[in-house]
Amino acid sequence: MSLFVLKKHKKKRAGLFIDRGYFRYLSIVGAPGSYVVVDAVSGDISEEITQGGDPFTNNGMYLYQVMNEILHNVGSIDVPVRISLPTTDSLIRVVNFPGMSLYEAKLAFRYEFENYFPFPIEEGIFDLGDILFPLQNGTEELRFLVAAARKTLIENITKAAKANGIEITAIEPAQISLERAVTPIAPVSDASVYIYAGKTRSVLIFSWKGNGIFYRTMSVGFSGISFVDESFNEQLNAEYNAFTREVHSSLQFALSQMRGFIPDMFFIFGPGATQDLCDFLKESLSIPEIMVSDPISIHGLNFDSTAGSWDIPVGLVLR
Which pLDDT tens digit goes with each residue over 139-181?
Answer: 999 999 999 999 999 999 999 999 999 999 999 999 999 999 9
Note whether 216 and 280 are same-domain residues.
yes
Query: What is the per-residue pLDDT across 251-261, written as a single tens digit (0 to 9) for each?
Result: 999 999 999 99
Q: Is 191:208 a contact under the CB 8 Å cutoff?
A: yes
Query: Does 162 fall in a domain?
Result: yes
The CA distance from 119 to 10, in Å, is: 35
Residues 197, 12, 129, 171, Cα dihedral to 10°: 70
Query: What is the per-residue pLDDT across 41-79, written as a single tens digit (0 to 9) for each?
Result: 999 998 888 876 788 888 888 899 999 999 999 988 989
Note whether 67 and 123 are same-domain residues.
no
Beta strand ranges found along 121-201 (DSSP E): 124-134, 140-150, 168-173, 191-196
Which are the contacts of 241, defined by CB distance < 8 A and separation ≥ 6? none
The CA distance from 265 to 102, in Å, is: 30
Query: Does 289 fall in a domain?
Result: yes
Note whether 41 and 156 are same-domain residues.
yes
**135, 164, 194: which is closest to 63 by C-alpha?**
164
Note whether 208 and 60 are same-domain residues.
no
pLDDT mean over 285-295 = 94
Instruction: Determine the pLDDT at residue 227.
Output: 46
Which range among 5-14, 22-31, 194-203, 309-318 shows the weakest confidence by mean pLDDT?
A: 5-14
For the chain, the residue count is 319
Query: Does 120 fall in a domain?
Result: yes
CATH of the domain at 125: 3.30.1490.300
**304, 315, 266: which is closest to 85 by C-alpha?**
315
Query: Does 168 fall in a domain?
Result: yes
The CA distance from 31 to 215, in Å, is: 27
Note whether 59 and 163 are same-domain residues.
yes
Query: Does 181 fall in a domain?
Result: no
H/E segment holding residue 244:
helix 232-257
Note whether 121 and 21 are same-domain residues.
no
Query: Does 12 fall in a domain?
Result: yes
Q: Is 94:147 a contact under the CB 8 Å cutoff?
A: no
Q: Which DSSP state fits 313?
A: H
Instruction: Determine the pLDDT at residue 234.
Output: 74
Instruction: Determine the pLDDT at residue 53.
Output: 75
Residues 69, 71, 73, 79, Cα dihedral to 10°: 150
Note whether 168 and 143 are same-domain residues.
no
Note whether 21 and 104 are same-domain residues.
no
Note whether 44 and 16 are same-domain residues.
yes
The alpha carbon dihedral of 212, 83, 297, 204 has a sign of negative
Instruction: Determine the pLDDT at residue 6.
Output: 52
16 lies in which domain range? 4-86+151-175
Query: Does 123 fall in a domain?
Result: yes
- Whether residue 130 has pLDDT greater than 60: yes
**215, 288, 296, 298: which is closest to 40 by C-alpha?**
296
Note whether 30 and 157 are same-domain residues.
yes
**Reported pTM:** 0.92
Query: What is the per-residue pLDDT across 213-241, written as a single tens digit (0 to 9) for each?
Result: 999 999 999 875 444 455 557 777 888 99
Q: Is 222:271 a contact under the CB 8 Å cutoff?
A: yes
Note whether 53 and 123 are same-domain residues.
no
Query: What is the per-residue pLDDT across 80-124, written as a single tens digit (0 to 9) for each?
Result: 999 999 999 999 999 999 999 999 999 999 999 999 999 999 999
- Whether residue 205 has pLDDT greater than 60: yes
* Mean of per-residue pLDDT scores for the chain: 91
CB 140: neighbour CB atoms within 10 A?
16
Q: Considering its fold, how many domains does the chain have in total?
A: 3
The CA distance from 208 to 192, in Å, is: 7
Pairing of the two strands 81-85 and 202-208:
unpaired
CATH of the domain at 52: 3.30.420.40
**77, 86, 57, 112: which is closest to 171 by C-alpha?**
86
The CA distance from 181 to 75, in Å, is: 26
Query: What is the per-residue pLDDT across 3-27, written as a single tens digit (0 to 9) for each?
Result: 555 555 448 999 999 998 899 999 9
Note whether 49 and 112 are same-domain residues.
no
Residues 49, 54, 58, 62, Cα dihedral to 10°: 30
Query: Does 203 fall in a domain?
Result: yes
